[in-house]
Chains A and B, each alone.
Chain A
Amino acid sequence: MRIAPQPGERIDRRKPFTFEYDGAKITGFEGDTIGSALYAAGRRVFSRSFKYHRPRGLLCCSGDCPNCMMTVDGVPNVRLCVEPVRDGAVVRAQNVLGSLDRDLLSITDKIGGPFTPVGFYYRTMIRPRRLWPLYEKFLRNVAGLGKIGENGTHRRYDTEHRRVDVLVIGGGRAGREAAARAEGDVLLVDEHGGGGALKGRALGIYEGGLVPVDAGDVLYRFRAERIVVATGGIEQPLVFPGNDLVGVMLPNGVRRLTRDWSIKPGERAVVVTADDAGLEAAGDLRAVGTEVARVVDLRSERIVQLAAVGKRGRLSAVLVDGEAVDCDVLVMSGGRQPAYSLLAQAGARVEYEPRRGIFVPTELPENVEAVGSAAGDLEGAAVPAASYDGGDGKCFVCICEDVTEKDVKRALAEGFDSIELAKRYTTATMGPCQGRLCHLQSIRMLARETETDEAAIGTTTARPPWGPVELGLLAGRHYEAMKRSPLHFRHEEAGATMMWTGAWRRPFAYGDPAAEVRAVHESLGVIDVSTLGKIIVEGPDAAELLERLYPNRFADLAVGRIRYGVLTTDGGRIMDDGTVARLGDDLFYVTTTSTGSESVCEWFEWWNAVWGYDAEIVNVTGALAAVNLAGPQAREALGALTDADVSNDALKYLDAKEITVAGVPCLALRIGFVGELGYELHCAASAGEHLWDALVARGAVPFGLEPQRVLRLEKAHVIVGQDTDSESNLLSAGMPWIVKEKPDFVGKWAVELVEERGIRERLVGFTMDGGLLPPEGAQVVENGKSTGRVTSSRVSEQVGKVIGLAWVRPERADDGTRLSIRIAGADHPATVTLAPFYDAEGAKLRS
């Protein structure tokens, strides 16, 4: 099938490659694609069609149509016409039952015409409903093309960001000229590379001049000042019976076979063309020794009948106005349609030009330019008929989706009379070529059938990507942000069980959580709290800013003192909580929850800007390490590591003080989330491990998140986001004491509204009467109906009970009220307890 070497061929016959196709060894040359090598080896049927399983052969050789899709090395839907040959590749046919030449499912072609009209699935298999899953299973199995491999391929992908002054998309003549003309930093990309172009396919033009380019295993993200679109024109098929037979090709298919790969496509050919491309193909065919039996130039010859007939799906003759011409190749060329898709995505309008029968882009957005065929610079083509008659073979409008002329007519007759409805009903244009080969034809046909014109029908929206793109390439290399505390490796060394909390990895416990709880109650524990958000607010208006952000007072906070604060949204919903320490007249140190640091920082900045205050807001979360040293022995241990006076008088409950601990300058905050005497020590991240080691050496037992949760629950301390949700307000969450009389704060109106109308639910503590632990999320029920929910629950050794927090109706929120909690389908009694379960007066914290 190969002809003798010829000048200009793209293959290097000295470099053979061998791959496997359905068990046989096939050899091609460098420059070949798997498709061309198979064609040279005599293979003509490359796939079976989507719906009717009709044999299909090479058509476009541009990587557009689905006709040559096979599975290569386990990757489905590979377009062989553009897939380079390589040694050892394993190529398999797909979507066949049997083989490509004898596909049992092609029965759908024989009976499928009359039995499966367009949209048949909407009208059948409705009753009885229980059979639908069976029908559906069958439908699912016959649909789809290739099969996903079991293990994936683990290709390596990269993403590169680049900036250029001018990006030219398309390396044809117009594109190359535009690139040569352009000034500054110019880059040319082309799907096929060559001529100094970067080989890659532009996927779209997005806002801000972003043009992602698919270059195989690299995704380039270009940002360009100016974009020149030179994507050329797309060869259009003609619509006539048998237009999908194996042997019917577009001019480019012939050009590539003959010129690039030096293959003789067949013995005898017919050409039907609306433009010069078909005539050129005729020349190419003759050059390789294919007889060209008949050329129909639609510009000079009016034909009414055109049909291709075949045997077993392969072309054997063409009928032109009653005259039958035997042939095994038919070149059809319906002229070219400007490839305007990228332009339309960028915002260009697309207009129909009746004279040339094509859609052309107009009103280009700023900074985008179109040149060459893409701009509509196409001359000398006839406008072919919407379809040609000539036989009873299937006449395909959309080859990808097996949509026939009859289907389109039927859709119209049923009332799907706009391009958008017809598209969705017939699925024309929704196949793997994304309408490149059928969009224009569908519009023409609708125009003819509705007796309007193409302009009235209009186009469908152009959507990225311009060409199918691998998920792996879009994903790029996989990096997912993970946050580690400065003490992370200490926890790993200590054998902690690590868990995710938001983006943070944190120790769940180091061993037995109960033992860690005990250590804190009885002696001394230490926990890494570096994940807390830490924000510095400084400036003349810092105090005023906080005063207006929080419902409680901060302007009157004394230097060196700390206050607990809860932030609410403008709707009065609880948003975050933490402590605020005043370190100077104009200097505050704010902590937030572990997940809240970014959002609180943004929140502060937003209001700072809105109110026009003069305050600097700096998120120092990542810069600092923090630990909480807690337990009856905390003072003693701290005292041993510092020269500072840490007596209860010098460092009272809710005092903040800068001291040096084990040689590390620290900010010591005396607060008590876990209910025992405790100090939070904040220091430079780099000194965190040293501080931690010193504390552990002094006998502090590391404790993890789980024991901390038990400890805080014993104090009935709320965890925002766990015990509260997006609707919780301060009054219902049992924190009315935090709301202070003042002229304004964010969410004030909402608090007043709730005050006026009363709360609808209330967060309370409870103890289980029995020993069963309700899962967090369990429902509080009355008469089988949900009236509340458990947000936290734990077994507390210290309290000797199962304790928890729950939202209940206000009528059920008094101390001692009996509740029913549903656990695994049965209701279990519980009792409301409003005071903290442990050290209700807080004596331990102050001691």
Chain B
Amino acid sequence: MKDIFRVSRMWRPRGELKKRYDVVVIGGGSHGLATAYYLAKNHGVKDVAVLEKSYIGSGASGRNTTIIRSNYRTPEGAAFYSRSVKLYEQLSADLDFNLMFSQHGHLTLAHSERAMVTMQERAEVNQLLGIDSRVVYPEEIARLCPQINLGPRQTWPIQGALYHAPGGIIRHDAVVWGLARGADRAGVEIHPYTEVTGIERTSGRATAVETNRGRVEADVVVSAVAGWSTLVCGLAGVRLPITTHILQAFVTEPVKPFLDVIIVSAQMHVYVSQTDRGEFLIGAEIEPYTTYKSIGTFPFLEYSARHTLELFPQLERLRVLRTWTGLCDLSPDYSPILGRTEVENFHVSAGWGTYGFKAAPIVGTTLAKLVATGETPDLIAPFALERFHTDELVSELAAAAVSH
């Protein structure tokens, strides 16, 4: 408690770049910072620099709608995200920073018979892995979320839902700052406003990165730049089967507690939660076109509002306060691309689409292990970039799209 009165720096002010580091991590988002944090914490690798072209958390990590859950469709995916949720549950204590992780439960609505089958399938897969996930019907939905409109006059009547009690939301900036503080205290250097503009390759290895602040050599380079992955990996000559799209979200003015659970409707391309500040946080589906430009669109607001009101007509007079846009790096099978590339010491975390925030701690621990030991942890083996050459995709289509 006394800690709160003491003003203590979260991290050291940015210093000069050294000529060389054991590990250079590109991207100061949740994944880059987590990787650096766990490198230092779990493996004692401390000569690490995180290079971030803007301020930390300026990418999708500071723009996402913070849904954390593990009720994925494939056994590979569900096992992976389930580990991540477990790590998140401990992370506030580990970092000694309150990330405000609130596991109020997560409902993925089904508005059709087909959707019900998908929910059933996910529940079955999840239960085999010990994940708390089951199909619920309107009576129970009414109990879990009395505010929702279950009336038959809805355009898409709710037939049931996948209920995932451990699903929740978290304070995204706190995750970024907590990890940054943890990494900084363990000796990692964080360099905001440091943009990687080139990657030098000699005989199949990445030897140095070029930045707006000079050249830096490294034994290992990790790219954790989500929406910019195709660009940064391109600098190393690594081509990724990824397209970048924008995803938008908005918040309303704050009101008193109204909604505890998270409501997701894939059919209606909308999901709704209420933050601890009282704002409604509402998001949608990615825009179908590819772009690196974070420019919002008006139709997004219109259809998201329409669909929100289908679910919660009571919110009609609530006002939208702020909208924003972030980049999403979409892989063909909606599963991440994680680990080694054809460039020997250049590793990647990409393909996070609209769902990567929940993976930060597991990405951090597994990539740190890969960097430190040279071995790919089993949990991430299915997500290797190589799978697109061997055609062993891990299709999360039914779980990842829209559902965050």
Contact = CB atoms under 8 A, between A and B. Distances in A.
Partners in one complex: yes
Interface of A: 50, 75-77, 95, 114, 117, 120-127, 129, 132-133, 136, 139-141, 143-155, 159, 203-204, 206-207, 210, 212, 221, 410, 413-418, 420-421, 424-425, 427, 430, 432, 434, 461, 463-465, 468-476, 478, 480, 482, 499-502, 571, 721-722, 725-727, 750, 753-754, 757, 760, 775-779, 781, 784-786, 789, 791, 822, 825
Contacts of B177: 122, 425
B314 A148 contact: yes
Given A500-B111, A725-B395, A474 B323 contact: no
A786 B104 CA distance: 28
Contact of B321 (A75, A432, A476): A432
B24 interface: no
A420 B57 CA distance: 10
9 contacts: A126-B97, A132-B92, A470-B318, A474-B320, A499-B112, A726-B333, A727-B333, A727-B393, A777-B117
Interface stretch (B1-9, B345-353, B378-386): B1-9
A155 B316 contact: yes
A759 to B, nearest CB: 11
Nearest to A502: B112
Interface stretch (B40-48, B195-203, B305-313): B305-313
Contact of A152 (B4, B128, B313, B333): B313
B317 A75 contact: yes
A725 B397 CA distance: 8
B113 A143 contact: no
B302 A126 contact: no
Contacts of A461: 324
Contacts of A152: 313-317
B143 interface: no
Given A206-B297, A468-B321, A786-B125, A129 B98 contact: no
Interface in B117-141: 117-125, 127-128
B295 interface: yes
A54 B112 CA distance: 50
B142 interface: no
A726 B257 contact: no
Contacts of B7: 410, 413-414
Contact of B120 (A476, A482, A777): A777
B391 A786 contact: no
Contacts of A124: 1, 3-4, 98
A420 B55 contact: yes
Contacts of B393: 727
Pick the 6 closest A-B CB pairs, nearest first.
A144-B278, A777-B121, A777-B120, A468-B319, A474-B305, A472-B316
Nearest to A787: B75
Contacts of A784: 128
Nearest to B309: A475
Nearest to B6: A123
A425 B177 CA distance: 10
Contacts of B117: 722, 775-777, 791
Interface stretch (B213-221, B229-237, B248-256): B248-256
Given A114-B5, A207-B297, A414-B10, A471 B315 contact: yes
B375 interface: no
Interface in B1-29: 1, 3-5, 7-13
A121 B96 CA distance: 12
A204 B298 contact: yes
Contacts of A139: 276
B318 A471 contact: yes
A427 B391 CA distance: 47
B277 A143 contact: yes
Contacts of B332: 571
A827 to B, nearest CB: 11
Given A76-B318, A117-B5, 12 more contacts: A77-B255, A129-B92, A207-B295, A212-B298, A464-B323, A471-B252, A471-B320, A475-B302, A476-B302, A480-B155, A499-B112, A779-B125
Contacts of A413: 7, 9
Contacts of A159: 302
Given A725-B398, A777-B124, A133 B255 contact: no
B174 interface: yes
Interface of B: 1, 3-5, 7-13, 54-58, 62, 75, 89, 92-93, 96-98, 100-102, 111-114, 117-125, 127-128, 155-157, 171, 173-174, 177-178, 192, 252-258, 276-278, 295-298, 301-302, 304-306, 308-310, 313-324, 332-333, 390-393, 395, 397-398
Contact of A822 (B58, B124, B157, B252): B124
Contact of A468 (B54, B156, B320): B320
A144 B397 contact: no
A480 B157 CA distance: 12
Given A418-B55, A434-B321, A463-B322, A148 B75 contact: no
Most chain B CB neighbours (cut-off 10 Å) among A95, A122, A149: A122
A500 B156 contact: yes
A480 B303 CA distance: 10
Most A Cβ at <10 Å: residue of B9, B278, B309? B278
A124 B4 CA distance: 7
B173 A425 contact: yes
A475 B333 contact: no
A132 B102 CA distance: 8
B173 A415 contact: no
A77 B319 contact: yes
Contacts of A424: 57, 62, 173
Contacts of A502: 112
A120 B4 contact: yes
Contacts of A777: 117-124
A838 to B, nearest CB: 23
Nearest to B117: A776
Contacts of B75: 785-786
Given A140-B276, A470-B319, A76 B298 contact: no
Contacts of B257: 140-141, 144
Nearest to A205: B298
Contacts of A136: 100, 102, 276
Contacts of A154: 313, 316
Contacts of A721: 114
A120 B8 CA distance: 12
A474 B306 CA distance: 7
A786 B98 contact: no
Contacts of B122: 777
A140 B278 contact: yes
A659 B62 CA distance: 64
Nearest to B94: A126
A77 B102 CA distance: 26
Given A475-B306, A753-B391, A146 B128 contact: no
Contacts of B301: 465, 474
Contacts of A155: 316-317
Given A136-B276, A152-B313, A472-B317, A775 B253 contact: no
Contact of A420 (B58, B156, B252): B58
Contacts of A207: 295, 297
A778 B55 contact: no
Nearest to B313: A152
Contacts of B315: 148, 152, 471
Given A76-B255, A207-B295, A463-B296, A129 B9 contact: no
A126 B128 contact: no
A778 B113 contact: no
A50 to B, nearest CB: 8
Contact of A476 (B173, B277, B306, B333): B306
Contacts of B310: 478, 480
B328 to A, nearest CB: 18
Given A206-B298, A775-B120, A122 B317 contact: no
A778 B120 contact: yes
Nearest to B3: A123
A518 to B, nearest CB: 23
A417 B193 CA distance: 12
